[in-house]
């Protein structure tokens, strides 16, 4: 537990930085990092950029896999997760563009796109550290309530609550929010060697209580991390209000 979103971001950025540096990645043995979108990871990304600018961290030998992407939103739309990631992180660090993997929500064959994503993750030896965020309904990536806990990368219809929550990024126009997304599955996240989750704000307090204090439950998919041997949830004070 840290005091506020900025302290959470600093803590996670330093943690990820140390993990990457201790791993000592090389072109032959890159560090495979899973990444989230949303407003919660923004302070973490700011702190990571600062670590790169001050010479304490490099993304040269880091391969990234993003968690999810909207279906049907043009790649250059400001709210696509492609645009978000380049705006908030990739354009400010030394990552080679070919090291970036983000699901293509405009692929002709969305099923093959998802299967191919799983194959690419395996090709790199799996994800070393999956950084994640959650929705108000406790979804991890876009694994909405009711998702199978053994799910893998696939097409997912968004819950109405998620569409409402994300309308703030689309000038509060609910009809502009895509209704479908491609997302890594709960099992894809569980397969990574380590998971670090960033959760800030009172809106997430119920999800945190459900996922930590109640049993493993497919209606709060974050709770699946109870089965992971190395999972860390970093919250601010506001997100602890229901604990």
Catalytic residues: 68, 137, 139, 144
Binding of ligand GLP by 40 (CB under 6 A): yes
- Residue in 8, 121, 134, 234 binding ligand GLP, rule: CB under 6 A: 134
Phi/psi-derived region of residue 126, left when phi > 0, alpha when psi is between -120 and 50, beta in every other case: left
- Residue in 7, 14, 21, 39 binding ligand GLP, rule: CB under 6 A: 39
Smaller CB separation from ligand GLP, 65 or 142? 142
Alpha-carbon distance of 30 to 16, in angstroms, equals 14
First to last CA, the chain: 12
Binding of ligand GLP by 177 (CB under 6 A): no
Binding of ligand GLP by 141 (CB under 6 A): yes
Closest of 226, 236, 241 to residue 200, by C-alpha: 236
Smaller CB separation from ligand GLP, 62 or 141? 141
In this chain, which stretch among 36-44, 98-106, 146-154, 221-229 interacts with ligand GLP, using CB under 6 A?
36-44
How many CB atoms within 10 Å of residue 108? 7
In the chain, the largest separation of any two C-alpha atoms, in whole Å, equals 46
Smaller CB separation from ligand GLP, 60 or 155? 155
Alpha-carbon distance of 6 to 14, in angstroms, equals 12
Binding of ligand GLP by 67 (CB under 6 A): yes
Smaller CB separation from ligand GLP, 56 or 87? 87
Show the site string, 3-32: x = touches ligand GLP by CB under 6 A, - = not: ------------------------------
Closest of 196, 190, 185 to residue 228, by C-alpha: 190
Q: Which two tokens stand for residue 138?
A: 């406790």
Alpha-carbon distance of 31 to 104, in angstroms, equals 22
Contact 185, 151 (CB under 8 A): yes
- Residue in 68, 137, 191, 236 binding ligand GLP, rule: CB under 6 A: 68
Is residue 188 helix, strand or coil?
helix
Placement of tokens 């005091």 in the chain: 3
* Positions in 143-172 near ligand GLP (CB under 6 A): 162
- Residue in 135, 138, 178, 185 binding ligand GLP, rule: CB under 6 A: 135
Binding of ligand GLP by 36 (CB under 6 A): yes
Binding of ligand GLP by 178 (CB under 6 A): no
Alpha-carbon distance of 192 to 228, in angstroms, equals 9
Binding of ligand GLP by 142 (CB under 6 A): yes
Binding residues vs ligand GLP (CB under 6 A): 36-40, 67-68, 133-135, 141-142, 162
């Amino acid at each position: 537990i840290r005091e506020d979103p900025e302290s959470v971001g600093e803590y996670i950025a330093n943690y990820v930085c140390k993990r990457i540096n201790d791993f000592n990645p090389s072109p032959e043995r890159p560090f495979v990092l899973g990444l989230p979108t949303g407003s919660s990871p923004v302070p973490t990304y700011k702190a990571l950029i600062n670590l790169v600018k001050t010479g304490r961290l490099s993304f040269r030998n880091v391969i990234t896999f993003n968690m999810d992407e909207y279906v049907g939103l043009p790649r250059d739309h400001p709210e696509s997760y492609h645009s978000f990631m380049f705006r908030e992180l990739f354009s400010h660090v030394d990552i080679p563009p070919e090291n970036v993997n983000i699901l293509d929500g405009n692929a002709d064959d969305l099923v093959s796109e998802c299967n191919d994503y799983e194959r690419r993750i395996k090709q790199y030896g799996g994800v070393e550290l999956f950084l994640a965020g959650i929705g108000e309904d406790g979804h991890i990536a876009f694994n909405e309530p009711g998702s199978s806990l053994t799910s893998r990368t696939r097409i997912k219809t968004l819950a109405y609550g998620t569409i409402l929550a994300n309308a703030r990024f689309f000038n509060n126009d609910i009809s502009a929010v895509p209704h479908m997304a491609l997302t890594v599955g709960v099992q894809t996240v569980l397969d990574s060697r380590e998971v670090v989750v960033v959760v800030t704000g009172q809106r997430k307090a119920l999800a945190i209580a459900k996922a930590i204090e109640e049993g493993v439950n497919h209606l709060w998919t974050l709770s699946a991390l109870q089965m992971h041997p190395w999972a860390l949830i970093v919250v601010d004070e506001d997100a602890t209000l229901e604990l």
